[in-house]
Structures are given as structure tokens and as C-alpha cells.
């Protein structure tokens, strides 16, 4: 039986960042990953020699001195990452069915204001107010700014009001309200639920700076894995943790699906919360706590089309597109069969071989997990768990893909003619590869009306079990990176960890 100072379950970015911090502090660390690839949402796959990102299509806050840049320097990432900066005058382009205008989200606070004020000159002062409020929110979260201080923000105004209400109160122009909200697919924004702080923290990062990983985001996981190994840590794939074994009230070892036991002193779980508590089969966690976790509502899942373009047929797309088929961007998660898809996100890639062309791209639309209820008992994880879900599943994917392509063809005429091939992913694809119970995009829903319901602390009632990942603080690259710092601060102390990262 191997023995470690710390065992991290799940090799998503939150798990890898936690393992790195622990290893850098001298701990003997082990990371366990059930799949062939490490990285969680950083995983990639290849079709027709084209590389596709599965979850991370662009990253914000990477300019010199910005928050993610400082975190990534600490993790030894910035010197090796291959990055492409997106269009500074429109990294995201928001568009609407029946409206020939395209509305940019530009990089840099002043540039963001200026580009939209050119279209909405009567809203210039409102745009300044909006950016001021976004900045105010971000400054209130110390860990997002690598500040050593602690703040109680539980009763702050931005915790107690939803995003749509704040945005609509700032802007009088209905179209600009929708444009500002147009990228809410980044956080699965829900009318009357999503707190304004979620909107502000997510969009601020991209407004500061927006980058795409050249040749795929898996390079982040590869660099992190190598750095962990260089510090004496181990990272094991095909190692699915299935249950904890206890000695008294503390975990002594984790059992893998192959029957192997790995012993440790500390355990950090970065996998789905409900799957983590399922691994505690004894009385160490109260039934009330387990019921609370299992009752939490997750954010919606999605349907993806990954398209390979014909060689050199599509000029390089150095921005993302969010195209809305309905007037209200906030209705997207409440789609009906007739209105689906209400919002389609299109994310290009950048290849080092042919940077002047977009060789492949991903189109994404919301999809509820229950649409795949017919096939939930099937499993398809290459190469060890492959099962054909059936002809009806293939037909389901084809019909949904064609609907999305129809929407995109209207938005980008001629797009269909450039398609060489495409593959699809559904909520159960997410479930199988990412390990979430229902293919959730971003973990537990944050609800401003009941913040404590979705509040999860990294510390559990089991003294040597900690949690990390997207359901703790915030999802996304920045969110889970900060979550790892929060988790490790529970072990080493808050100012200590943050000072180490800031001074890197």
C-alpha cells in the first residue's frame, strides 16, 4: 500500500493546482484520475487530425500584472504556454436573429466602453457606471486580487441581487441590456437567480484580456502534471477512486476501482460533490449533510458540435460569437423543443501549423440532462468503457446538430459549405468524461435568494478531507484556480498561501 502526505482525487485544474501547491510546500503528493487524459475540462481530442478543446475555449486575465497571470506564474505556466490574444476590439461578438448589426465586447475597460458607445452613444455614461460596478465587485474578493486580507461580503449589495436586474437597472436601451448579457453562456446565467457577483467576476477577467490556447488547452494540464512530477509528486491515470476507508474518524486510505488501496494523511477531492460523499459509506458524514449535497441543483449542460473545416477554407476567426435567436438572452436555459437553440456559441481554434486559417471550431448550445434520459444507462469512455448507445441516439445527435448548423448558417452564410466533418457531444458525454452526475457545465447553481444553500466550504466534517473545484467559489479557469488557493489556505493558512503566489 502506497502512502502519501496528500492524495488529490480528480485531475481537473482545481485538483492539479491544489496538488502543485501542496507539492511546492514539500508534501509527497498523489493525483488520481479515472480517465486516460488528465485535466478534466482541459482535455482535448482529435478528429481528422484536428484538435478540439472539450471545455476551455478561451481564458481571461493573462496580461502582465493581471490576476490569472500572477497565479499562472506561480504554477510555472506562463513561460511555456502557447497563447493567441483574441481581437482587442471584439473578443466576443454578440449578434441577434434579424439584426444585421454585430455588437463587440472589447478588451480593456476604456476600449469596452468606447466600442459600445460608438453604437449606443446615448448610453456612454451608463457604460461607465457598469464598468465601475464590475470593478467594485472584483475588488471586494481578495483572493481574486491576491490580497492577504479577509472581507465579509455576505451582506454586500452584489450578493443580494440578480445579474439581469442590475444590468437592466443601469441601461435604458433594451438592446444594450441584451448585448451586455450576451455572453451569459459563460456562467449559465439564469433570470432571477444568478447573483451579479458571478456575472462581474466572470466577464471582468475577459474584459481585462482574452486569450486562446494555441493547439489546445491540454497544454495547461501537461505542464502542470510535469511540474508536479518534478517536485516528486505522482499523477496516475486510469485510477478511479471509489470509496474511502477510515481509521476512527479520519480517512486512512482510498480504494480504487481495481481494488488497490492508496494510503494518505490528507485527502482533497476535486470531483463532483455528490460522488465524493458517496465514497463515505460509514457514519462519518451526517445524513443531513449528504441529503443537502445531493439536493443541490446543478447548472444546465450543453450540446456541442465539433466541426472540422475543409483545408484552408475558413479565414482565422480571432473572436468568439454568441448568436441569439430570441429577443431575451436570459431565456436560453428555459428553451422549449420549438425554440431550441436560443443561443449558440461559436468558438474557433488557433493552430500553429496554419494560424491564418480556422481549421476547426466548436458550436455550443444549452441542453438539459433529461433530454438524454433514454440513454443514461450507457457509458462511452474511450478506450476502456465503450458502448454503442444506439441508432436512435445517433439520430438524436444528427437532428440537434442540424438545427444548430441552420442557425449558424444564417449567422455566417456559407459556413456549411466549408464543413469537412463533425462530431457531437451531449450531456451524457460530459457526464462520462468530466465525471459530473448530470453533465453540468459549471457545478452548483448560485442563487442570490438563497446563498447559503449553494455555499460549500473546502473543509468538511471529516478532519482530513477537503474539497476543491468549480462548485466551491466560482467555475472556469480563474474560478477553480482561486478555489485551489482557498482549499490549500485551509491547510497552510490564508495569508501564507496567497503571499507565496503573489511573490512568485
Q: In the chain, where are the structural domains located?
A: 2-42+60-80+215-296+450-502, 84-213+298-434
Q: What is the mean predicted confidence (pLDDT) over 17-24? A: 98
CATH (one of 1.10.10, 3.90.660, 1.10.3470, 3.30.360) for 84-213+298-434: 3.90.660
CA dist 234 to 2, 165, 239, Å?
11, 47, 12
Residue that wins the pLDDT comparison between 145 and 299: 299
Q: What is the pLDDT of residue 104?
A: 98
Q: What is the mean predicted confidence (pLDDT) over 113-127? A: 98
Q: What is the pLDDT of residue 26?
A: 96
d(CA 262, CA 30): 9
Per-residue confidence band for 2, with pLDDT thresholds at 50, 70 and 90: low
* Per-residue H/E/C for 119-158: HCHHHHHHHHHHHHHHHHHHHCCHHHHCCCCCCCCCCCHH
Q: What is the mean predicted confidence (pLDDT) over 59-73? A: 96
Answer whether residue 381 shows pLDDT above 90.
no
Q: What is the pLDDT of residue 46?
A: 82
Give the lowest-confidence range in 33-47, 147-161, 463-477: 147-161
Per-residue confidence band for 47, with pLDDT thresholds at 50, 70 and 90: confident
Per-residue confidence band for 118, with pLDDT thresholds at 50, 70 and 90: very high
Q: What is the pLDDT of residue 461?
A: 92
| Other beta carbons within 10 Å of 329 | 24
Answer whether residue 494 shows pLDDT above 90.
no
The CA angle 357-362-367, to the nearest 5 degrees, is 165
49 by Cβ neighbours in 10 Å (0-12 / 13-18 / 19+) ranks as exposed
Q: What is the pLDDT of residue 61?
A: 96
Sole residue written with cell 496580461: 63
Give the lowest-confidence range in 18-32, 152-166, 169-183: 152-166
- The answer to whether 172 touches 90, Cβ cutoff 8 Å, is no
Q: What is the mean predicted confidence (pLDDT) over 344-349? A: 96
Structure letter (DSSP) for residue 74: H
Give the lowest-confidence range in 221-235, 336-350, 484-498: 484-498
pTM: 0.95
**CATH class, 2-42+60-80+215-296+450-502 region:** alpha beta
Q: What is the pLDDT of residue 54?
A: 84
Mean pLDDT score of the chain: 93
Q: What is the pLDDT of residue 375?
A: 95
Report CA 106 to chain centroid distance, whole Å: 21
Q: What is the pLDDT of residue 1?
A: 53
| Three-class secondary structure of residue 451 per DSSP | helix
Give φ, ψ of 437 to 5 degrees. -70, -25
Give the lowest-confidence range in 6-20, 46-60, 119-133, 234-248: 46-60
Please write the tens of the pLDDT for every residue from 271-320. 999 999 999 999 999 999 899 888 889 999 999 999 999 999 999 999 99
Q: What is the pLDDT of residue 383?
A: 67
Q: What is the pLDDT of residue 48?
A: 85
Q: What is the mean predicted confidence (pLDDT) over 161-165? A: 96
- The answer to whether 208 touches 29, Cβ cutoff 8 Å, is no
As given in the structure block, the three cell numbers for residue 97 are 436573429
d(CA 324, CA 97): 6
Per-residue confidence band for 470, with pLDDT thresholds at 50, 70 and 90: confident
Within 13 Å and on the Cβ side, how many CA atoms surround 429? 18
Q: What is the mean predicted confidence (pLDDT) over 368-392? A: 86
d(CA 491, CA 251): 16
- The answer to whether 11 touches 31, Cβ cutoff 8 Å, is yes
Give φ, ψ of 406 to 5 degrees. -60, -45
Q: What's the chain's Rg over C-alpha atoms?
A: 22
Q: Single out the residue of 227, 217, 218 nearest to residue 73, CA to CA.
A: 227
Query: Does the CA dihedral 484-454-167-411 come out positive or negative?
Result: positive
d(CA 488, CA 494): 8
Give the lowest-confidence range in 36-40, 128-132, 465-469: 36-40
Please write the tens of the pLDDT for every residue from 192-246. 999 999 999 999 999 999 999 999 999 999 999 999 999 999 999 999 999 999 9
CA dist 96 to 76, 103, 182, 402, Å?
41, 9, 9, 19
| pLDDT over 70 percentage in the chain | 98
Amino acid at each position: 500500500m502506497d502512502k502519501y502526505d496528500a492524495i488529490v482525487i480528480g485531475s481537473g485544474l482545481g485538483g492539479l493546482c491544489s496538488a502543485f501547491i501542496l507539492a511546492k510546500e514539500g508534501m509527497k503528493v498523489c493525483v488520481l484520475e479515472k480517465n486516460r487524459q488528465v485535466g478534466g475540462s482541459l482535455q482535448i481530442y482529435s478528429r481528422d487530425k484536428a484538435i478540439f478543446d472539450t471545455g476551455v475555449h478561451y481564458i481571461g486575465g493573462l496580461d502582465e500584472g493581471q490576476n490569472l497571470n500572477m497565479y499562472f506564474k506561480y504554477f510555472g505556466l506562463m513561460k511555456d504556454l502557447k497563447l493567441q490574444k483574441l481581437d482587442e476590439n471584439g473578443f466576443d461578438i454578440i449578434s441577434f436573429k434579424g439584426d444585421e448589426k454585430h455588437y463587440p465586447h472589447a478588451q480593456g475597460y476604456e476600449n469596452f466602453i468606447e466600442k459600445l458607445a460608438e453604437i449606443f452613444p446615448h448610453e456612454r455614461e451608463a457604460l461607465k457606471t457598469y464598468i465601475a460596478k464590475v470593478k467594485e465587485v472584483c475588488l471586494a474578493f481578495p483572493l481574486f486580487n491576491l490580497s492577504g486580507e479577509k472581507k465579509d461580503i455576505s451582506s454586500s449589495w452584489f450578493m443580494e441581487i440578480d445579474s439581469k436586474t442590475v444590468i437592466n437597472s443601469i441601461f435604458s436601451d433594451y438592446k444594450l441590456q441584451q448585448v451586455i448579457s450576451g455572453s451569459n453562456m459563460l456562467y449559465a446565467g439564469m433570470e432571477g437567480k444568478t447573483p451579479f457577483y458571478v456575472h462581474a467576476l466572470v466577464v471582468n477577467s475577459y474584459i481585462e484580456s482574452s486569450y486562446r490556447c494555441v493547439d489546445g488547452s491540454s497544454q495547461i494540464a501537461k505542464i502542470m502534471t510535469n511540474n508536479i512530477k518534478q517536485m516528486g509528486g505522482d499523477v496516475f491515470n486510469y485510477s478511479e477512486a471509489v470509496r474511502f476507508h477510515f481509521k476512527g474518524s479520519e480517512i486512512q486510505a482510498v480504494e480504487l476501482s481495481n481494488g488497490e488501496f492508496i494510503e494518505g494523511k490528507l485527502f482533497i477531492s476535486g470531483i463532483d460533490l455528490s460522488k465524493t460523499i458517496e465514497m463515505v459509506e460509514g457514519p462519518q458524514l451526517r445524513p443531513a449533510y449528504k441529503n443537502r449535497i445531493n439536493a443541490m441543483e446543478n447548472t444546465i449542460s450543453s450540446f456541442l458540435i465539433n466541426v472540422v473545416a475543409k483545408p484552408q477554407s475558413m479565414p482565422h476567426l480571432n473572436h468568439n460569437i454568441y448568436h441569439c435567436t430570441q429577443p431575451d438572452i436570459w431565456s436560453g436555459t428555459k428553451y422549449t423543443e420549438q425554440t431550441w437553440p436560443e443561443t449558440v456559441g461559436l468558438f474557433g481554434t488557433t493552430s500553429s501549423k496554419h494560424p491564418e486559417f480556422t481549421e476547426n471550431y466548436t458550436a455550443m448550445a444549452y441542453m438539459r440532462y433529461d433530454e438524454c434520459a433514454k440513454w443514461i444507462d450507457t457509458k462511452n469512455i474511450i478506450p476502456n468503457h465503450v458502448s454503442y448507445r444506439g441508432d436512435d441516439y445517433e439520430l438524436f445527435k444528427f437532428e440537434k446538430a442540424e438545427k444548430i448548423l441552420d442557425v449558424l448558417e444564417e449567422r455566417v452564410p456559407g459556413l456549411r459549405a466549408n464543413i469537412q466533418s463533425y462530431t457531437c457531444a451531449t450531456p451524457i458525454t460530459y457526464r462520462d468524461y468530466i465525471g459530473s452526475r448530470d453533465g453540468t457545465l459549471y457545478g452548483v447553481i448560485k442563487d442570490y435568494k438563497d446563498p447559503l444553500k449553494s455555499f460549500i466550504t473546502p473543509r468538511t466534517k471529516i478532519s482530513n478531507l477537503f474539497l476543491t473545484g468549480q462548485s466551491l467559489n466560482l467555475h472556469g479557469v480563474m474560478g477553480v484556480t482561486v478555489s485551489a488557493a482557498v482549499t490549500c489556505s485551509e491547510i497552510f493558512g490564508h495569508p501564507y498561501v496567497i503571499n507565496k503566489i503573489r511573490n512568485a
